[in-house]
Amino acid sequence: MMTDIEIADQAEMKPIKEIAAQIGLGEDDIEQYGKYKAKISLPVKAHPDKKHKLVLVTSINPTPAGEGKSTVLVGLGDALNQLGHQTIIAMREPSMGPVFGIKGGATGGGYSQVVPMEDINLHFTGDLHALTSANNTLAALIDNYIMRGNELGLDPRRIIWKRVEDVNDRALRNVVTGLGGLMQGVPRQTGFDITAASELMAILCLSTDLMDLKKRVGQIVVGYSYDKQPVTVGELGFADAITILLKDAIKPNLVQTLDHTPTIIHGGPFANIAHGCNSVLATQTALQLADYTVTESGFGADLGAEKFMDIKRRVLGKNPDAVVIVATVRALEYNGGAALADLKDENLPELKKGLANLNRHIKNMQRYGVPLVVAINHFATDTPAEIKMIEDNCKALGVNVVTADAWAKGGAGTQDLAQEVVRLADQDSDFHELYSLDASPADKVRIVATKIYGAKDVEFSRKAQRQLKQFAELGWDKLPVCIAKTQYSFTDDQTQLGAPTDFTFHIREFVPKLGAGFIVALSGNMMTMPGLSKVPAAVNMTIDKDGKITGLF
């Protein structure tokens, strides 16, 4: 059986200008990065005759290897086009942290992949580097400001702006900068986050154009003064400089699937420690140019989809017309207590137990009032009895369920799902918001935790309670909340799989992200800089004298 990278290597890609032409973009509408990648020049003119349907692909709680959400997304895009429904895929760009860590890339798998996969998973068009540079330029400007007079009285102990890098690097979670004497800066304790969790990444993903991005950069709170007043980038006078560094990164990237479906890949916040959705500009561009836009949000529907509905959707101004929940036999069995090593075997008792996880995600998505279908991402090891058990469970709930063979057969294996999605997207939906922006941040967290996660109650640390009071005084309480939580569990404890009930959810701290336009709530011991595992993916990679890579996936 060929690996993802071997299949991708054999792809016969079309020149990117042909892919652009397929969606009505001429050579002046794109900026080519080599032969197979391009950035789309903004603004894009909407095609009024299109259907502008939006389909969101999400999943159950995953195993550490992922559940094939991107694979099903890509297969679905291909299948829709094969059936004559003009479709563009919109997805996130991978971070090199997980690529060299455990999870692998984000370009799908098997015969449902986006190419050129090596480029996309490595440096791509440089967006993550631009974000990293912009973020760290701001950090250097702040430190310089403190050293050179500090007119606004920024308190070095209260700076919340951290440096970032696109690497899983636990050794940099906590650092002291400015050591070495008078001319080396003012010493202070700080730390690094991964770029995917940075506020600039969220801003890039939520901005509607370059001037909106600049406005949001100006609103970033970098820290507090000695008299505890927030200090913003705008007050410091750095907003234009930081925006300049992002002027190209804000443009969405165009690539193609193995089957030449146009795919816009742009922005890559993680869904556990950030808001987990590709950029608004990517989704909006696709919506303007296509009958069907299929997009994804990261990890399970408790994280990515909730944040899509409660954060991104508000900026996008468009509700999904249909939702696909991807489930696998493997992940359901894992959620039902099966060991990772046993997931290739038939485990019906664990599967039965693990279905509670799927059922909670179904109920949660139904709460938003959007038509939904469950897609079983088919693995070669699945048995007919396992598939039947999932189908019977969904039928008993009155929920449609389709098996998708996107990995082994590409779009040809995903056509049943595509047909169901078209049917659903044509139905009337009655979207309900989970919470109103008028609710307090504490209530917003309570609503998500009790209604989506199934918690009994929420406990806020003393620090978090103090912050809630302060945020209300500062008028920051009308923003949505972005909860940082483990992707493996509905709770804040990653070992609690399935669908736990009767638990207390813990918030230890809030981080205001006024530029992004949300308040981050850190739950449990969630870190915004991941670490590497005992045997990182990097260990199994090779490159030869011709530059041929193996082991990337």
Q: How far apart, in whole angstroms, are the C-alpha atoms of residue 79 and residue 13?
A: 18
Stretch near ligand ADP under the rule CB under 6 A, chosen from 19-27, 374-382, 417-425, 461-469: 374-382
Q: How far is the CB of 64 from ligand ADP (least distance, A)?
A: 10
Told to check if 382 binds ligand ADP by CB under 6 A, we report: no
Q: How far is the CB of 382 from ligand ADP (least distance, A)?
A: 9
Residue in 11, 271, 449, 455 annotated catalytic: 271
Do residues 219 and 233 make contact, with C-beta atoms less than 8 angstroms apart?
yes
Active site residue 71: yes
Question: Which residue of 58, 61, 70, 283 would you call a contact of ligand ADP, by CB under 6 A?
Answer: 70
Q: How far is the CB of 541 from ligand ADP (least distance, A)?
A: 14
Q: Which residue is nearest to ligand ADP (CB)?
A: 109
Question: Which residue of 50, 52, 62, 370 would you call a contact of ligand ADP, by CB under 6 A?
Answer: 62
Told to check if 66 binds ligand ADP by CB under 6 A, we report: yes
Cis preceding linkage at 48, omega within 30 = no
Q: How far is the CB of 11 from ligand ADP (least distance, A)?
A: 15
Binding track over 41-60 against ligand ADP, x by CB under 6 A: ------------------x-
Q: In sequence order, what are the residues at sequence separation of 6 or more whose Cβ sits closer than 8 angstroms to the Cβ of residue 217? A: 200, 203, 233, 234, 239, 242, 243, 246, 515
Element (H, E) at 7: helix 4-9
Told to check if 65 binds ligand ADP by CB under 6 A, we report: yes
Active site residue 271: yes
In the DSSP assignment, the letter for residue 172 is G
* Beta strands per DSSP E along 412-517: 457-460, 481-484, 504-513
Stretch near ligand ADP under the rule CB under 6 A, chosen from 104-112, 365-373, 413-421, 461-469: 104-112
Is 68 annotated in some ligand binding site?
A: yes
Stretch near ligand ADP under the rule CB under 6 A, chosen from 337-345, 377-385, 389-397, 485-493: 377-385
Is 225 annotated in some ligand binding site?
A: no
Long-range contacts of 20-24 (CB under 8 A, 24+ apart): 20/254, 20/262, 22/260, 22/262, 23/86, 23/88, 23/262, 23/289, 23/290, 24/289
Q: How far apart, in whole angstroms, are the C-alpha atoms of residue 346 and residue 343?
A: 8
Question: Which residue of 50, 69, 360, 485 would you call a contact of ligand ADP, by CB under 6 A?
Answer: 69
Active site residue 476: no
Classify residue 47 as exposed, middle or buried by CB count within 10 Å of its CB (0-12, 13-18, 19+).
middle
Q: In sequence order, what are the residues at sequence separation of 6 or more whose Cβ sits closer than 8 angstroms to the Cβ of residue 509? A: 461, 463, 464, 467, 521, 522
Residue 372's alpha-carbon distances to 87, 361, 367, 399, 454, in angstroms, are 19, 11, 11, 7, 20
Q: How far is the CB of 257 from ligand ADP (least distance, A)?
A: 13
Q: How far is the CB of 70 from ligand ADP (least distance, A)?
A: 4
Told to check if 109 binds ligand ADP by CB under 6 A, we report: yes
Do residues 250 and 189 make contact, with C-beta atoms less than 8 angstroms apart?
no
Active site residue 299: yes
Question: Which residue of 243, 256, 377, 415 would you call a contact of ligand ADP, by CB under 6 A?
Answer: 377
Active site positions, annotated: 69, 71, 92, 103, 271, 299, 379, 407
Interacting residues toward ligand ADP by CB under 6 A: 4, 59, 62, 65-71, 104, 106, 108-110, 377-379, 407, 553
